[in-house]
């Protein structure tokens, strides 16, 4: 080894990373470097190069070689390990202040990797060496780095460390924790004593005595002797300490170490943490709730320390359990955090501020961590302490109230608001647990004042009348992942909290919401005085000043919000509360209907001002009425002597239909959508007997039939029937029509009163209108006739949706539905060969039959199903050469057909079993070759699901006597048990081969599906115990799964693969350990004989039968 070797290595490294070096040359260099790293003396050469070069590429390469030697060859070095370890340690000590940070981190990790293998047997002084670095200023950063790396590396689960060694390392790290805490605490106190100027005044009193102070007088000590109170004293800093960058860096690393330790350590050690350690952490936590006049970068650094300190606190509060032994520990933590909360909420007073919130000057991440602490405390520990008479629950709720409503951005406010949701949920559970009504009233009365205050403040928080400046900043256009705007997300969360409170305080909530709603509704009706009309008394606009426009904008936004809130509370006025709230609810619904009539009368959505706000109000009006559909149902059922319910329902239906049928082409889709859903809700929930006789419904029926017929004209969707209807809303309206005809009227005792005969005539006419495009198409459809294709697909989609709509309908309804569509289905079967080559029509037609076979599987006769399946099997088989492997048949149509076959194989009854041979033959002879020639994941997944359901639901097709060996519920003796007979063995073996082949593909979804399929088949049908599986299949399956584990190619499914390997091995453990494993190891080319023997003898115990 000479200096020229080093120069050559540096030249290679520089060439490798040079921008002009080609990929071919880089591969050549990689070969040279790999050969060097495999040399026996590579360790010594690299260690020497480290002290002789300042080339960073070379330094990093040498460290990587050392790491590779440690990982791969360390255990074989024997007595040389000590010298090599010492050499690395000395190199790190000598160069830690001069080397780059990433090189220091890499070298530190080398030492920790050695410790992971040698500590404590061959490296007993490792931890002490690390801790000894902390007191000296020169080596403190290195000591903290080594400690942090040690915690990271030794506390994490690693695949290259066996379970026994993991447990040993965990115990070693746990045993060293007191020493680590002490060392880190001393370091934090040195830094704090150096930089902090503490107040000498007596700290403010604790919120209360410790919860155990009465029972344990020894805990009630002088305030200066209590380390937690000392932390409070230290926390009351006049300014944020002006720390140097080195102290800030060390403090950050120390707090990160503590956070990692707190996350790792077992619960039993939490209560051994010294008060001094927590005291220092809480001092750092106070840095986040102090205002400073120092430079922004200084404040940012100090605040970051506060964030890290809150991480430590949150790790502890989340870990600690809720048993009596933890009361003192948790309560003391709460005391300190209580003072932080008080300091946060009172900062404006301390700084002489009287207006505005000081929270805008606090770091958002710090506030998030503080909210996280409060969430942990309220959800995990408050229920315990709230029962104690000394706990300051009201003061605490008051501070949380201030903390919540002083938040300055949407996300932080909603996070703080979630605290109240947790608390209200706790109160609800507590109330439900009470058997004494007096006790319930006591709980409700105790918290009434703060909760009602929350309701009032929350209602104002979402009102533009009080909070317009902040609410106008919220985005009401862009949608998030939940398809909500920022404003909708904000208001939704506020409304949900108010709705939860209404479960406990319904009257108080109703009064607040009612006042909010009535004021806005009254303002809306007041627009009548601002109307501008023409000579025909038709509204043409609103007479508004610029100020009036903005005021109306706020009013309409608030009205929309109040409508959402009123709708959300609908459940409280139904069921057992129906009679109690009847008068109020009836008045409310009548006002909502009046507002809808008022809106329709004056066409406010046509106004040039605030049209979007008006449209939102109209849509929300109908959505709110829809929320009371169950109340309307009960009202109609009980309203037997008057016509009030008829008037109300008729008004709702008439106004919705008026919005849908507005012929001026200006009805907004949002309004149409809301109107359609309200009609649909009336048809499914209320179902009044007179609905079909209403003139407006008759008109709607006529227009809907005209709408669906128009698809056979050149105008397509352009029709005056519904000028602004979209396809999805058209489906909703068709569902409404089908429901009012086929769903039984409520409160009629016998079937003869339902007037089915005349009603079904309407439905026959309706279906005829839907399928008319097929009757009007006299020529075959090809790919170029886009218009006809679109029309026919639309008709099929409408009919499919109508059938799917009746999936949960009564049997009588399904019978009438099938009778209504039977002739159309026959026509579709006859026309299917004509449209087969048109992928869009074929896909929609198959989708219709899938829905029909699913929804009407009891009503439809087998002969029709058999005819359909046989025709399609023949059609798909004979047309394979013409289009089976081309797009889009292979990607859409064939998977859809396989889905139909999958549905058929799940049907019970012997008649359906006659179809199995043809379907199995089709899968093997047609689908499998198609999969081999195309890359279509959807087709593969459809095939695997078909095969799985075929086996699961037709096991007797293969095993007629269904002999299940090893069945715990099988009381038949071995001599009485019928011999296992396998029929259709070729098909069974081919199915298993298809599953096995699928595990070789690089598709995790397919792998997971088929893995679960095998496990379900084994759980229900004892697949792995079948003789043919044990003899011919279990070995290749096990080899494949074990190889997948070794390759780590599907780590996300690691646990699932462990489970299936165990379940297959458990069929015959002796054979698995004594025969399969030796054969498997023998065939592993990457292992030598020594490694094979080591694995076979050391890690594989034939007597070990526990689940991994």
Q: What is the pLDDT of residues 31-59, one digit of tens each?
A: 898 888 888 788 888 888 888 888 889 99
**Mean pLDDT calculated for residue range 344-358:** 56
Of 140-154, 397-411, 464-478, 1087-1101, which range is least confident?
1087-1101
Ordered by start, the domain boundaries in the chain are 3-174, 175-208+221-351+358-408, 956-1067
**Mean pLDDT calculated for residue range 896-925:** 93
Interval 70-102: pLDDT, tens:
888 887 777 788 888 899 999 999 988 888 899
Residue 967 pLDDT grade (very low, low, confident, very high; cuts 50, 70, 90): very low
Q: 539: which strand partners?
A: 533
Interval 512-547: pLDDT, tens:
999 999 999 999 999 988 887 776 677 777 888 888
Neighbour tally for 1001: CB within 10 Å: 12
Long-range CB contacts (< 8 A, 24+ apart) of 792-796? 792/835, 792/841, 792/844, 793/840, 793/841, 793/844, 794/711, 794/727, 795/708, 795/711, 795/770, 795/771, 796/828, 796/841, 796/844, 796/845, 796/847, 796/848
- Can you give the pLDDT at residue 1064? 94
Neighbour tally for 36: CB within 10 Å: 16
Task: List the beta strands (DSSP E) in 561-610.
Answer: none
**Mean pLDDT calculated for residue range 257-262:** 92
d(CA 399, CA 530): 46
Angle between helices 786-805 and 839-855 (to 10 degrees): 10
**Mean pLDDT calculated for residue range 833-841:** 86
- Residue 710 pLDDT more than 80? no
- Residue 201 pLDDT more than 60? no
Element (H, E) at 208: none
Mean pLDDT for the chain overall: 84
Nearest to 381 by CA among 321, 439, 332: 321
d(CA 740, CA 698): 11
Residue 664 pLDDT grade (very low, low, confident, very high; cuts 50, 70, 90): low
Residue 235 pLDDT grade (very low, low, confident, very high; cuts 50, 70, 90): very low
Interval 995-1050: pLDDT, tens:
999 999 888 999 999 999 999 999 999 999 999 999 999 999 999 999 998 888 88
| DSSP H stretches of helix in 743-810 | 756-776, 786-805
- Can you give the pLDDT at residue 72? 80
- Can you give the pLDDT at residue 214? 42
- Can you give the pLDDT at residue 648? 94
**Mean pLDDT calculated for residue range 782-787:** 46
Give the residue with greater pLDDT, 882 vs 251.
Answer: 251
pTM for the model stands at: 0.84
Highest averaged pLDDT of the listed ranges 62-71, 469-478, 560-569, 907-916? 560-569
Please, how many CA atoms are within 13 Å of residue 403, restricted to the half-sphere of its CB?
A: 28
Q: Are 547 and 609 in contact (CB under 8 A)?
A: no
**Mean pLDDT calculated for residue range 1057-1063:** 93
- Residue 903 pLDDT more than 50? yes
- Can you give the pLDDT at residue 121? 86
- Can you give the pLDDT at residue 45? 86
**Mean pLDDT calculated for residue range 827-837:** 87
Q: 531: which strand partners?
A: 542
Residue 481 pLDDT grade (very low, low, confident, very high; cuts 50, 70, 90): confident
Of 39-53, 144-158, 718-732, 962-976, which range is least confident?
962-976
Element (H, E) at 598: helix 582-602
Interval 596-605: pLDDT, tens:
999 999 888 8
- Can you give the pLDDT at residue 1083? 85
Residue 1025: left if φ>0, alpha if ψ -120 to 50, beta else—which one? alpha
- Can you give the pLDDT at residue 271? 75
- Residue 778 pLDDT more than 80? no
Element (H, E) at 541: strand 539-542
Share of the chain above pLDDT 70, in %: 86
- Residue 993 pLDDT more than 90? yes
- Can you give the pLDDT at residue 354? 42
- Can you give the pLDDT at residue 1026? 93
**Mean pLDDT calculated for residue range 459-487:** 91
- Residue 395 pLDDT more than 50? yes
**Mean pLDDT calculated for residue range 621-640:** 90
- Residue 466 pLDDT more than 70? yes
- Can you give the pLDDT at residue 213? 43
d(CA 104, CA 22): 31
Element (H, E) at 169: helix 163-195
- Can you give the pLDDT at residue 906? 94
Cβ density class 859-894: b for 16+ within 10 Å, e for less: ebeeebbbebbeebbeebeeebeebbbeeebbbbbb
- Can you give the pLDDT at residue 777? 56
- Residue 183 pLDDT more than 50? yes
- Can you give the pLDDT at residue 720? 47
- Can you give the pLDDT at residue 1098? 63
d(CA 579, CA 593): 21
Neighbour tally for 450: CB within 10 Å: 18
Of 120-124, 159-163, 324-328, 669-673, which range is least confident?
324-328
Give the residue with greater pLDDT, 336 vs 1023.
Answer: 1023
Residue 716: left if φ>0, alpha if ψ -120 to 50, beta else—which one? left
Give the residue with greater pLDDT, 354 vs 1031.
Answer: 1031
d(CA 389, CA 880): 81
CA 1002, 1004, 1006, 1007 dihedral sign is: positive
């Amino acid at each position: 080894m000479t200096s020229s070797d080093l120069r050559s290595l540096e030249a290679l490294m520089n060439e490798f990373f040079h921008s002009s070096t080609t990929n071919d040359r880089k591969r050549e260099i990689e070969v040279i470097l790999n050969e060097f790293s495999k040399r026996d003396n590579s360790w010594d050469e690299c260690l020497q190069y480290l002290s002789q070069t300042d080339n960073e590429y070379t330094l990093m390469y040498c460290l990587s070689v050392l790491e590779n030697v440690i990982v791969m060859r360390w255990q074989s070095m024997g007595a040389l390990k000590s010298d090599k370890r010492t050499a690395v340690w000395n190199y790190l000590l000598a160069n830690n202040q001069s080397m780059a940070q990433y090189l220091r981190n890499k070298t530190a990790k080398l030492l920790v990797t050695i410790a992971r293998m040698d500590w404590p047997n061959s490296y007993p002084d490792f931890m002490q060496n690390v801790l000894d670095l902390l007191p000296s200023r020169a080596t403190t950063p290195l000591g903290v780095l080594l400690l942090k790396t040690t915690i990271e590396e030794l506390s994490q689960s690693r695949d290259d460390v066996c379970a026994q060694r993991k447990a040993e390392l965990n115990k070693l790290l746990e045993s060293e924790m007191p020493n680590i805490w002490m060392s880190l605490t001393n370091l934090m106190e040195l830094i704090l004593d150096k930089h902090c100027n503490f107040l000498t005044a007596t700290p403010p009193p604790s919120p209360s005595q410790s919860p155990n102070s009465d029972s344990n007088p020894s805990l009630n000590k002088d305030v200066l002797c209590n380390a937690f109170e000392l932390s409070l004293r230290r926390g009351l800093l006049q300014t944020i300490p002006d720390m140097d960058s080195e102290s800030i860096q060390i403090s950050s690393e120390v707090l990160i170490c503590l956070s990692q330790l707190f996350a790792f350590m077992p619960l039993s050690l939490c209560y051994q943490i010294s008060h001094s350690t927590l005291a220092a952490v809480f001092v750092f936590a106070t840095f986040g709730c102090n205002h400073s006049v120092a430079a922004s970068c200084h404040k940012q650094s100090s605040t970051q320390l506060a964030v890290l300190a809150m991480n430590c606190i949150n790790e502890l509060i989340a870990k600690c359990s809720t048993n009596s032994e933890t009361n003192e520990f948790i309560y003391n933590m709460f005391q300190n955090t209580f003072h932080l909360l008080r300091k946060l909420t009172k900062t404006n007073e301390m700084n002489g501020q009287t207006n505005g919130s000081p929270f805008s000057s606090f770091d958002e991440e710090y506030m998030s961590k503080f909210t996280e602490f409060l969430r942990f405390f309220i959800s995990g520990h408050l229920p315990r302490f709230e029962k104690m008479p000394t706990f300051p629950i009201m003061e605490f709720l008051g501070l949380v109230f201030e903390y919540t409503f002083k938040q300055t951005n949407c996300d932080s406010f909603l996070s703080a608001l979630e605290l109240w949701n947790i608390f209200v949920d706790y109160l609800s559970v507590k109330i439900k647990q009470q058997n004494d009504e007096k006790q319930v009233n006591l709980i409700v009365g105790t918290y009434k004042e703060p909760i009602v205050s929350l309701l009032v403040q929350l209602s104002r928080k979402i009102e533009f009348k009080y909070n317009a400046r902040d609410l106008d900043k919220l985005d009401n256009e862009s949608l998030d992942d939940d398809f909500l705007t920022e404003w909708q997300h904000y208001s939704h969360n506020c409304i949900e909290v108010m709705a939860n409170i209404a479960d406990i305080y319904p009257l108080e909530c109703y009064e607040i919401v009612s006042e909010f709603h009535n004021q806005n509704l009254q303002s809306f009706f007041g627009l009548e005085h601002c109307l501008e009309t023409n000579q025909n008394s038709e509204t043409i606009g609103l007479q508004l000043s610029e100020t009036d426009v903005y005021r109306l904008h706020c009013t309409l936004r608030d009205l929309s919000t109040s409508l959402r809130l009123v709708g959300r509370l609908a459940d409280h006025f139904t069921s057992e509360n129906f009679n109690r709230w009847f008068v109020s609810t009836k008045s409310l619904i009548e006002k909502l209907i009046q507002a809808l009539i008022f809106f329709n009368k004056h066409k406010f959505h046509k106004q040039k001002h605030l049209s979007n706000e008006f449209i939102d109000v109209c849509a929300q009006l109908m959505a709110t009425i829809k929320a009371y559909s169950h109340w309307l149902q009960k009202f109609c059922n009980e309203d037997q002597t008057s016509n009030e319910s008829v008037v109300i329902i008729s008004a709702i239906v008439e106004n919705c239909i008026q919005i849908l049928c507005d012929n001026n082409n200006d009805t907004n889709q949002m309004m149409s959508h809301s109107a359609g859903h309200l009609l649909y809700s009336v048809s499914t929930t209320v179902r009044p007997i007179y609905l079909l006789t209403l003139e407006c419904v008759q008109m709607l029926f006529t227009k809907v039939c005209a709408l669906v017929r128009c698809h056979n004209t050149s105008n397509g969707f352009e029709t005056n029937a519904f000028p602004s209807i979209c396809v999805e809303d058209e489906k909703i309206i068709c569902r409404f029509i089908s429901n009012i005809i086929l769903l039984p009227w409520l409160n009629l005792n016998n079937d003869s009163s339902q007037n089915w005969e005349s009603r079904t005539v309407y439905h026959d006419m309706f279906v005829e209108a839907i399928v008319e495009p097929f009757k009007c198409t006299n020529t075959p459809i090809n790919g170029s006739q886009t218009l006809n294709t679109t029309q026919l697909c639309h008709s099929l989609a409408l009919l499919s949706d109508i059938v799917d709509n009746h999936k949960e309908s009564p049997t009588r309804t399904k019978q009438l539905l099938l009778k209504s569509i039977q002739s159309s289905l026959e026509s579709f079967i006859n026309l299917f060969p004509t449209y087969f080559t048109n992928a869009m029509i074929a896909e929609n037609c198959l989708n219709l039959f899938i829905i029909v076979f699913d929804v009407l599987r009891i009503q439809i006769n087998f002969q029709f199903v058999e005819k359909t399946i046989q025709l399609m099997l023949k059609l798909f088989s004979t047309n394979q050469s013409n289009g089976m492997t081309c797009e889009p048949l292979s990607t859409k149509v064939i998977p859809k057909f396989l889905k139909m076959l999958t549905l058929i194989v799940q049907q019970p009854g012997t008649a359906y079993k006659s179809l199995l041979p043809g379907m199995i033959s089709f899968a093997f002879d047609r689908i499998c070759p198609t999969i081999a020639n195309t890359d279509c994941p959807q087709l593969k997944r459809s095939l695997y699901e078909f095969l799985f359901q075929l086996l699961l639901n037709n096991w007797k097709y293969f095993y007629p006597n269904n002999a299940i060996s090893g069945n715990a519920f099988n009381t038949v003796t071995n001599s009485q048990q019928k011999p296992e007979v396998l029929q259709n063995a070729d098909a069974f073996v081919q199915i298993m081969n298809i599953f096995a082949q699928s595990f070789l593909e690089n598709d995790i979804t397919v792998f997971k599906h088929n893995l679960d399929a095998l496990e379900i088949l084994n759980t229900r049908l004892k697949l792995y115990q079948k003789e043919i599986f044990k003899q011919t299949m279990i070995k290749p399956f096990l080899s494949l799964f074990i190889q997948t584990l070794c390759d780590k190619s599907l780590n996300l499914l690691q646990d699932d693969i462990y489970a299936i390997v165990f379940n297959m091995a458990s069929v015959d453990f002796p054979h698995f350990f004594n025969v399969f494993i030796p054969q498997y190891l023998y065939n592993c080319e990457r292992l030598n004989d020594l490694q094979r023997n080591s694995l076979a003898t050391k890690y594989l115990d034939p007597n070990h039968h526990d689940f991994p």
